[in-house]
Structure 1
Amino acid sequence: IVNAVSAQNLILPTGTAKLGTLEYGVEMNGSPQTVEELNDLPVKTVNGATIYMKDVAHVRDGFSPQTNIVLSNGQRGVLMSIYKTGTASTIDIVDKVKQMLDYNKASVPEGLHVSTFFDQSLYVRASIQGVIREAIIAACLTAVMILLFLGNWKSTLIIAVSIPLSILVSILCLSALGQTINIMTLGGLALAVGILVDDATVEIENINRNLAMGKETVQAILDGAQQIAVPAFVSTLCICIVFIPMFFLSGVAKFLFVPLAEAVSFAMLASYMWSRTIVPTLAMYLLSTEDEYQATEHAGEKMGFFRRYQQGFEGSFEKFREGYRRALRIALHSPMLFAASFLAFCVLSVLLVGVLGRDFFPKVDAGQIRLHMRARTGLRIEETARLADQVNGVIRETIPKDELTTVLDNIGLPYSGINLTYSNAGTIGSSDAEILVQLKEVRGKPTGAYINDLREKLPQRFPGVQFFFQPADIVTQILNFGTPAPIDVEVTGMNQRGNYLVGEKLASEFRHIPGAVDVHVQQAFDNPTLFMEIDRARAQSVGMQSRDVAQNVLVSLSSSSQTAPAFWLDPKSGVENNVAVQEPLYRVENYQALQNTPIGGSAPGSRPQILGNLVTTSTTARPAEVSHYTTQPMINIYAAVDGRDLGGVADEVEKRVQ
């Protein structure tokens, strides 16, 4: 049948014929015009009778055997994953995708619902909005603090102006270097807000000091700027130089922290530039009468509420300053005692480092749960879907209905190899399911609390089924370097079975480490397998070879789409369709039906046989997934962390490995 499809369904050019004064294009009916006409293709002639495709097969416009099931809140659906590449903006891509969806929804057939799920831009947007909000609050608090200490709104205004101007210059420099507005750059700008006013504050304070000495406004500004030019420049460089080591980072850390360092450094340098230019200029116009105010301040002029409050604050601060002066005097009179106390304090502080945990990045509550379920290896996808539905029931019991948005099940292997390549879900077969849970913004518990509840309930309700949670937010996925867990222990060696036994032993020890959760071996070695041993002598006696048996079984169980690809071009739509030959799956419903699979030989005179006459079948187990590292077989042991710092767990994992 495969040979007939290849020989009778042709897409070939035929050339031209020059007849008389014209050159004719030549066409043939090499390919049928409709799918139904494929049923009329001749397959073989026996004793003068022609056997057609419709006599031995049924050709239809259908689908390949299903390897993936998607359920959205219990209803069947189709999941399309969209990934960004390179330095593309997550927000821009999501916005454009949503625009295209809105445009295409008009052509969607009635009854279909198209929606977005697991939108990573929501987390990015919320983070950016949060950083911007905190930066604005920080700027306002900084201005209030300056107003409280200086007691003059004009001086406060001059200093506050330098904040947005410095941030603007930093953004321009970041844009010139190809950076974007993201969590790290905004975090750097928010970090710099409090210190952006240092140069301007020192400048204004020194100008006010010179004005208080009775100098003219212009002279006071010039003297004030000149006196602190070098110290302010050195102070600014000291802040910037702290971030220089970040530029020597490598890997993910480099891409995370270099933008933050650039944002802070550019903002600080811009702040110094404004303190040399804009601040003196504004002081010239806004503080021109300050000298007159100094003369009349103590002349009985009536002061307002804020002025009186500031005077009271200044008096209290003067008392604090006097106390500090006395403490400093004591320290200067006993330098050895002070130095010893200082060193002891430093040593004690260093000892506290061991008490603090070590994490690469703070945990993120993105309101999303990514649960991976692995049932018995080799379980049919239909049974896995039923099991996933039961797991969904436990999830809905655990998470209140008013806090739950969507539960999406992605069961089995994706049809596209591209999706499988880009995914880090750890799916290895039809017995795997990835369950994605989207929570509402307002919820009674943190996402981590619900994860802990499910981590405790699910193994009790479903013994024999493996559950582990994977990072759902984009930041943690990046920090894990593409692996489904932050800790990945690899066992490599030429003995694949030995690697697996060592991996299982290590995983058993890792489960006893406090803080280590979701410990599992990625590769499965218990995939149920039917081993068919071909009787080569018997096959040869009936005119067949091992290749004939293997090819017939391959086409019968897995179709001819990979080994003998054939295509049919729809003349109406111009779409190319695969033509695959395969025995219907429902025909191979038991062991005896498999043994009755017909086997035909390719050599003349070969006699057709059934599979059971040529092979001896036994049951065994084989690896469901094979991984290699530098050509050697490899086993991965993954572990996540909960309730403890990553560094502490990683240290204990290292000790167990040693």
Structure 2
Amino acid sequence: MWIISVAMKRPITVIAAILSIILISVMAITSMKRDIFPDLKIPAIYIIQGYGGMSPEQMEGYITSTYELYFLYVPGIEHIESRSIQNVALIKIFFQPDTDMASAMAAVVAMANRATSLMPHGTLNPFVLRFDAGSLPVGQLVLSSDTKPVKDLEDLAYTRIRPMLATVPGAEAPPPFGGNIRSIVISVDADKLRRYNISGDEVVKSLITGNQVLPAGNVRTGDYLRIAPVNSDLPDIHQLDYMPIRTGHGPQIFIKDIGKVEDSSDILSGYALFQGRRTVYIPAVKRADASTVSVVDALNAALPRMQSVLPPDVKISYEFDQSKYVREAINDVFHEGVLGTILPGLMILLFLRDLRSTLIVVTTIPLSLLSAIVGLWLCGQTFNIQTLSGLALSIGILVDEATVCIENMHSHLAEGAVKARAVFDACVETMVPRLLAMLSVVSVFLPSFFMVGITRELFIPLSLAVGFAMIASTTLASTLVPIMAVWLLKDGHKHEEKPDFIEHLKTLLGKFVHSLMPVRSIIIPVYLVVTVTTVVTLYENIGKELFPDSGSAQFRMRITAPTGMRVEALEQRVLRAIEEIKAEAGAANVEKTLGYAGQQPPMFPISSAFLWTSGPHQAVLDVQLKEGTKIKMGEFKDRLRARFAKALPDTMFSFEPGDLVSQIMNLGSPTPITVQVTGHNLVDDKIFAGKVLKEMSKISKLRDLQWGQALDYPSCQINIDRELAGQLGVTAKDVGMSLQPAFFSSRFVNLSLWRDKESGFSYQVQVQVPQDQIRSKEDIENFPTMNSLRSEQMAPHDFEVDPAVDKFYPGHITRRLQRPLISDVAKVDYGVTTGELDRYNMMRMVSLTSNISGNDLGRVGDSVKEAVKRAGKAPAGVFCDVMGQVPLLEDTFFHLITGLLLAVVVITLMLLAYFQAPRVVLIVMSTTPAILTGVLTMLTVTGTTLNVQSFMGAIMSTGVGIANAILMVVFAETSRRQGMSAQEAAVHGAQQRMRPILMTSIAMVAGMIPMAISAGQSAPLGRAVIGGLSMSTLSVLTILPLVFSMVQNKAPVASGSLHPEDQGV
């Protein structure tokens, strides 16, 4: 009570404190970051290792498994996942929730460096990244030109735009997508190699010895110290034409004799397609701790500067801006909050019919919110959908504290009390019930601090927002409200109560409750049975999902052609898919498309962390429909599936989250349903996964059901006959090194560089056979290999003119001793191999992925679990788990339900400590079934799922409903102890507390209406609050008096104190 007394004695001090809070809040608002979600703090680290040309089996055996064994030394690991495809291995390490990620990162880097010492020659150090769901592209920087080829766009993006992108605050700069790095390519002709009896490796070795990067030294001449570079590295790429391949005895053979030198690019691995045309783009990735809005604003500001460093015929644009979804989500909550402030004010004016009283109550709302923002700022929180939802959720109940005070002041003034005394007494009388009500609301959010993982990170920001706002509201109701009341309210004689509709409602309520008293022994059990049964029934049947649909007009498709298909053929299928999308949606409704077809270049393995494709047969396509097209995305996707099945029957399609909001909410999971079959025997895994697939195909709600890995990748196996090869002086290394330029390029086994004087950048020089020259087994079999007999060991008589060569190249001399061909030492066969090898905790894994129709992830997840059971018992050592979003949904709901039950326990203990009477606590808590019934009924009627947002509304409704029950029970119990019977006290309490309960409830419902009727992601929250609070108000005013009269009928009037003075001793 002292706070009220101090405030009324020192009003100017209170006003100064409030002005200080306003000033600090302005600083907080301008400095707090804005994003869609808080930092989810996912404890994961990604390791990406590239090695060009290595097969999936080689990547797994020589790279992935070595890393995994070493990472076991890192403490705090929860599990390890890995994916191995040709050229790339991606390893994900997930840690326990309380792990110090800085220490974990240091340990992972240390172990990775040690592991590389046991890997094949040429293995570079890996990329090690701290992963978070927020580390996603916020847009794409697209380079386009009508004149320049893709290789030039790639070089411009890599050397000019990417360095500028890296300096944008909060942004990361991954490599460009769509092209390959500029390279100096020595294209050798396979026929000429055979004619000159030269192997590909011999050309590579001549390149290494003829173009060697050596440090420049110094020469001291007189008083000068001269820099003395040697042109061991050729300054002009055209000089490579005259680099000798064979020296010593016999005539020299130069590079120009067996091929040509080109300023080109690395081997093609994928295409980027913007609006159906090849292009190059850089994903604008934000850091997890950066603000999406701030990063995008900085990018847009940097675009003119980026354009200025590009040639006139190259344009750069920022496409697929994801910040608009963030801005819309934040603005929706903000606007709903503003409307939620106005509507409660109108409701209060309607009830009190006093503009001055309404002004006092409404003034506390923005001040409470500003105070809460200061608290959030000091706690390091950001403006996101969770904190803003917490603030919007608080608006309705913020009027509760001030409204109770004002309503009680009117009662005292109507009795003729002096204004200052009436204000003081009214605030003192309501202090305890207001404090209990506030603690009840805050208590329901207290369990969020004991949650773990993602659920904790989602709920703590909202809990802090509600908590700070409620504490500020209670403080203002005891400080600012009495001051403003003394200054603004009219004198006592002007507050004589006049009969109005509220008084009529009181009378009607009293008569109604009184009429129910004789049958209360029937009504109360029926009430409990009906509400509890309704809660259980609706909970079992309502749809459950993690988050509501974002309603975005953007989606992503993963297109999988027959395994191993070349990227050129895949590109045509992507273009056909775009045509089908335009035909279904209408060309005018498709705003833009951006796709990537093929695999990430081996030069940039880190790109696989941002966009994973399992080979040249897989593409990812982003599609942006025009806003306002009114296309229902679920139905539209089903129609597209039907179209694709006819147009591209041998191609598989799977829809994935496309916009930033959905990608973050899916927490990295491309599909909501994933079934993992793990074991040490891959064959057993495949067989059992096939049985599960058969059972899952019977579930009608599943869509895009397919294997998660390429299990039947076409291969061309070269099997060396080592005995025969040894007789011909050929080793296995000779065969492999000879085929490197034919199958891939020389740069991964022999590094050679060329420096561009104009740009100051260096580029790799590599030897490769044009891909169109190796098209069949015969081309491979006729390719020459090395042998141990070197040209420098031959005598002059070992050379003669070869007529076949002399016909085309007069005067050239070749060897009499011909080099063996591949067919002389090996057998070439077509076959099938595994295109992707995945592991979970070092066990081989096969997965099945699927989307769902509708939004009932909970029920579909249960159906999938039943399908797994029907598949039978897994072989020994084989494990089958339903993954994707299902475990996260179950874990989140478990923590939410546990938190709600814990909140009820906390409130019960708090009330028990105050009332010192278990019976009174039981009465207050009897409203809980009605609250939950209202929540689930409203969600069911509106077709809303039970998700994180609606669950937050249920929790808030519980706190507010119990707070209203406390107001009524405290008044009724006080009246009973003053001499009324339990029945009279119950009716009297309901009548006297009807106006403040109706005012606060209707005001909060009015505040939630804008949120509930919106299409935003906070709509489920508003609907849950409206449903829960409506039923809570009805039960508090009708059922609660019956429960009170029954439970307290014969309760003692004396307190439970054991103090001798209280016992009259």
Could you tell me the TM-score, scaled by structure 2's length?
0.58
CA–CA separation in structure 2 for the residues paired with 1:453 and 1:594: 46
> In the alignment, what sits opposite 1:566?
752
> RMSD between aligned alpha carbons?
2.0
- In the alignment, residue 344 of structure 2 is paired with which amino acid? T
Aligned to 1:421: 609
Q: 1:482 matched to which residue of 2?
A: 668
Query: CA 1:410–1:21 in 2, change beyond 3 Å: closer, same or farther?
Result: closer
Superposition pairs of residues 265-280 of structure 1, within 5 angstroms: 265-280=467-482
Is 1:396 matched up with 2:582? Answer: yes
Q: Which runs of 5+ in 2 are unaligned?
A: 1-202, 794-816, 870-1065
- SS of 1:201's partner is helix
**Closer, same or farther: CA 511–479 of 1 in aligned 2, 3 Å:** farther
Within the alignment, does 1:405 sit opposite 2:606 as a pair?
Answer: no
Structure 2 equivalent of residue 632 of structure 1: 843
Q: Write the mapping of 1:122-133 to structure 2, written as runs, cut at 5 A.
A: 122-133=324-335
Q: After TM superposition, list the pairs within 5 Å mapping 1:96-245 onto structure 2.
A: 96-245=298-447
| Match of residue 531 from structure 2 | 346
User: Secondary structure at the residue paired with 2:739?
Assistant: helix
Amino acid across the alignment from 1:325: G
In structure 1, runs of 5+ residues without a counterpart are 299-310
The one-letter code matched in structure 1 to 2:415 is M
CA distance in 1, matches of 2:609, 2:751: 23
**Does residue 463 of the first structure (1) align with residue 674 of the second (2)?**
no
Aligned residue type for 1:323: L
**Contact 1:365–1:448 (CA<8 Å) still a contact in 2?**
no
2:570 aligns to what? 384
Change (3 A) 1:634 1:603: farther
**Is the contact made by 2:418 and 2:491 (CA closer than 8 Å) also made in structure 1?**
no
Q: Which runs of 4+ in 1 moved over 6 A?
A: none
Write the letter of the residue equivalent to 1:363.
Answer: D
1:621 to 815, 823, 832: 832
How much does 1:490 deviate?
A: 0.9
Deviations 1:26-82 (A, max 9, x none): 321121112222223232215353322222232221101211111112211112112
Alpha-carbon shift at residue 492 of structure 1 (Å): 0.6
Distance 1:212 1:66 in 2: 87
- Relative to structure 1, is the Cα distance of residues 511 and 262 closer, same or farther in structure 2, using a 3 angstrom cutoff? farther
Instruction: Please tell me whether residue 507 in structure 1 is matched to residue 718 in structure 2.
Output: no
How far, CA to CA, are the matches of 1:324 and 1:514 in structure 2?
Answer: 51
Given the alignment, which residue of 617, 634, 654 partners 1:431? 617
Q: How does 1:435-450 map to 2 (within 5 A)?
A: 435-450=621-636
CA distance in 2, matches of 1:117, 1:446: 23
Amino acid at match of 1:616: K
- Corresponding position: 1:522 with 2:724: no
- Residue identity over aligned pairs, in percent, reads 31
Report the counterpart of residue 302 of structure 1 in structure 2. none
Instruction: Give the deviation of 1:331 after TM superposition.
Output: 4.0
1:475 deviation in Å? 3.4
Q: Give 1:607 deviation, angstroms.
A: 5.4
1:418 is matched by which residue type in structure 2? I
Distance 1:77 1:356 in 2: 46
Could you say if the C-alpha distance between residues 21 and 400 of structure 1 is closer, same or farther in structure 2, counting changes exceeding 3 Å?
Answer: closer
Give the letter for the 1:463 counterpart: P
| Greater relative contact order structure (CA < 8 Å, 6+ sep) | 2
Q: SS of the counterpart of 2:559?
A: strand
Distance 1:457 1:286 in 2: 69
Superposition deviation, residue 18 in structure 1: 4.6
Paired position in structure 2 for 1:305: none
Q: Quick one: which amino acid aligns to residue 858 of structure 2?
A: G
| Aligned pairs, number | 639
- Aligned with residue 249 of structure 1, among 451, 454, 457: 451
Distance between the aligned counterparts of 2:759 and 2:660, measured in 1?
40
Aligned residue in 2 for 1:303: none
> Given that residues 252 and 481 in structure 1 are in contact (C-alpha distance below 8 angstroms), is that contact kept between their aligned partners in structure 2?
no
1:554 aligns with 2:740: yes
Match of 1:31 among 230, 233, 245: 233
Post-superposition offset of 1:17: 4.3
Which stretch shifts more, 581-590 or 615-624? 581-590
State which of 837, 856, 862 in structure 2 corresponds to 1:645: 856
Kindly indicate whether residue 822 of structure 2 is the aligned counterpart of residue 611 of structure 1.
yes
Contact 1:544–1:603 (CA under 8 A) maintained in structure 2 = no
Moved more, 6-15 or 149-158: 6-15
Once structures 1 and 2 are overlaid, which stretch shifts more, 110-119 or 443-452? 110-119
- Return the letter of the residue paired with 2:708: Q
Task: Compute the displacement of 1:294 (Å).
Answer: 2.6
Deviation string, structure 1 residues 425-460 (Cα, Å, up to 9, x no partner): 5x2111111111101111132222321211222123
Tell me the distance in 2 between the aligned counterparts of 1:431 and 1:502.
Answer: 26
User: Any idea what the Cα deviations from partners look like across 1:150-195, whole Å, max 9, x if unmatched?
Assistant: 1111111111111111111111111222211111111111111111
Does residue 1:50 correspond to 2:238, yes or no? Answer: no
Q: CA deviation at 1:577?
A: 0.6
Q: Is the 8 A contact 2:553 2:633 kept in 1?
A: yes
Report the Cα offset of residue 8 of structure 1.
2.0
Partner of 2:292: 90
In 1: Cα distance, 2:687 partner to 2:316 partner: 46
Q: Alignment partner for residue 507 of structure 2, among 295, 304, 322?
A: 322
Are residues 331 and 551 of structure 1, via their aligned partners in 2, closer, same or farther at CA, if it must alter by over 3 Å? farther
How much does 1:483 deviate? Answer: 2.0
Q: Summarize the Cα distance change of 1:265–1:84 in structure 2 as closer, same or farther, 3 Å threshold.
A: same
How many Å separate the matches in 1 of 2:825 and 2:273? 42
1:66 matched to 2:268? The reply is: yes
**CA shift at 1:624, angstroms?**
1.1
Letter in 2 for 1:199: E
